[in-house]
Amino acid sequence: MKRIAVVCGGWSPEAEISRKGAKAVAAALKRLGFETHLLELTPDIAVRLLELKPDLVFPLLHGKPGEDGSLQGLLEIMGIPYVGEGVKVSSLCMDKDWTKRLLSERGVEVPEGVAVRSSKDPVLEGWNKFPAVVKPAEGGSSIGLKVARDKGELLEAVEALLKFEKKVLVEKVIGEREYTCGFLEGRVLTPLEIKPKSGIYDFETKYTKGAAEFLPVRGKLGERIRDLTLKVVRILEIQHLCRVDFRYDPRADRLYVLEVNTIPGMTETSLLPTMAGLEDISFDRLVELLISAKATGG
């Protein structure tokens, strides 16, 4: 019987979300007949992996460390195969600033914005596009995301975030319609439109039941989103799994890539499993596909 370690938690602000997903994945693995171990990401994780001797590691970590390539690098040094993307892709996609730069250079539209490391950065003095989104350059689950409607709110939001983050993104708000699309082992899934009742898909909305609607997107727009998702996957050299988030400006009829998540949420009601369900891929089958694919590293 294959022994699989699901690594979760850690000390990022998203640790509790990762634990919930890891429990769901571990339960699926047990139903599939695998010897399954949940491991909390701690400073002695290498020692514990050496003791456990897993055949495969399933990283279910959001944010740093774990989603940024650091755990993936450790596993490669240790010669342990793992699920998901490798060091290069993980580290690149963790930094929204560099992901946007690369995609923009390859012809993918991204929101106009700037990355700053200080609230006194001169570029902020010249910023005049409001409302603006202020968010960490590294991180997920929309933790720390703020909407600034004037220069005062902008500087306040940047200063508040820089107490905890090294780099902050300021972006022009694009349209009012948000979409997401998943990629799973060579397959682009049916996209979803995200309709938050509060108007913004922030951390509280993401994890409050009934705070948002998720509607399948088909027809021409759905095909455009799927095609753009595949283009992003190819540019970033993603091999196994990701979720790409978009904003759409209906007046200009333009799609913009917001960010790329290489370890999407994996509770049974998370966005990627929901999209897989639209393709008749059950949660257990989704997990089975991920562990059956050619493992990274090892």
CATH code of the domain covering residue 157: 3.30.1490.20
| 46 and 15 fall within a common domain | yes
Element (H, E) at 136: strand 132-136
41 and 187, same domain (yes or no): no
294 inside domain: no
Domain final position from 128, 156, 172: 172
Decide if 37 is inside a domain.
yes
Q: State the Cα–Cα distance between residues 41 and 83, nearest whole angstrom.
A: 16
Both 7 and 153 in one domain: the answer is no
Tell how strand 192-196 and strand 3-8 pair up. unpaired
Residue 214: C-alpha distances to residues 142, 164, 183, 211, 265 (Å): 17, 31, 17, 10, 15
Q: Are residues 25 and 127 in the same domain?
A: no
What pLDDT is recorded for position 175? 83
3-state secondary structure of 71: helix
Pair (201, 182) in one structural domain: yes
How many structural domains does the chain have? 3
CATH no. for residue 235?
Answer: 3.30.470.20
pTM metric for this prediction: 0.92
Angle at 144 between CA 139 and CA 145, to 5 degrees: 95
pLDDT in the model for residue 200: 63
Q: What pLDDT does residue 145 have?
A: 86
Instruction: Tell me which residue of 116, 120, 99, 117 sits closest to 108, measured CA to CA.
Output: 99
CA distances from 175 to 66, 97, 203, 225, 230 (A): 32, 20, 20, 16, 23
Tens place of pLDDT per residue across the chain (298 aa): 699 999 999 988 889 999 999 999 999 999 999 999 999 999 999 999 999 999 999 999 998 888 999 999 999 999 999 999 999 999 999 999 999 999 999 999 999 999 999 999 999 999 999 999 999 998 764 567 899 999 999 999 999 999 989 999 999 999 879 999 999 999 999 999 999 776 666 556 665 666 688 999 999 999 999 999 999 999 999 999 999 999 999 999 999 999 999 999 998 889 999 999 999 999 999 999 999 987 776 5
CATH of residue 80's domain is: 3.40.50.20
298 part of a folded domain: no
Residue 58 lies in a domain: yes
Continuous H helices in 237-293:
271-278, 283-292
Residue 207 zone, left/alpha/beta (φ > 0; ψ -120 to 50; rest): alpha
Same domain for 13 and 31, yes or no, is yes
Q: Give the tokens for residue 266.
A: 């994996």
CB 62 within 8 A of CB 17: yes
CA angle 185, 213, 183 (to 5 degrees): 10
Domain shared by 156 and 16, yes or no: no
Assess whether 121 and 133 both reside in one domain.
yes
* Residue 243 sits in the same domain as residue 180: yes
Q: Indicate the residue among 172, 197, 216 that finishes a domain.
A: 172
Q: Could you list the residue range(s) of the whole structural domain that residue 222 is in?
A: 92-109+174-286
204 and 234 belong to one structural domain: yes
124 & 264 share domain: no
Tell me, yes or no, whether 292 lies in a domain: no
pLDDT recorded at residue 65 = 84
User: Is 295 a member of any domain?
Assistant: no
Instruction: Give the ranges where the chain is alpha helix by DSSP (H).
Output: 15-31, 45-52, 70-78, 87-94, 96-105, 122-125, 151-161, 203-206, 219-236, 271-278, 283-292
Same domain for 202 and 256: yes
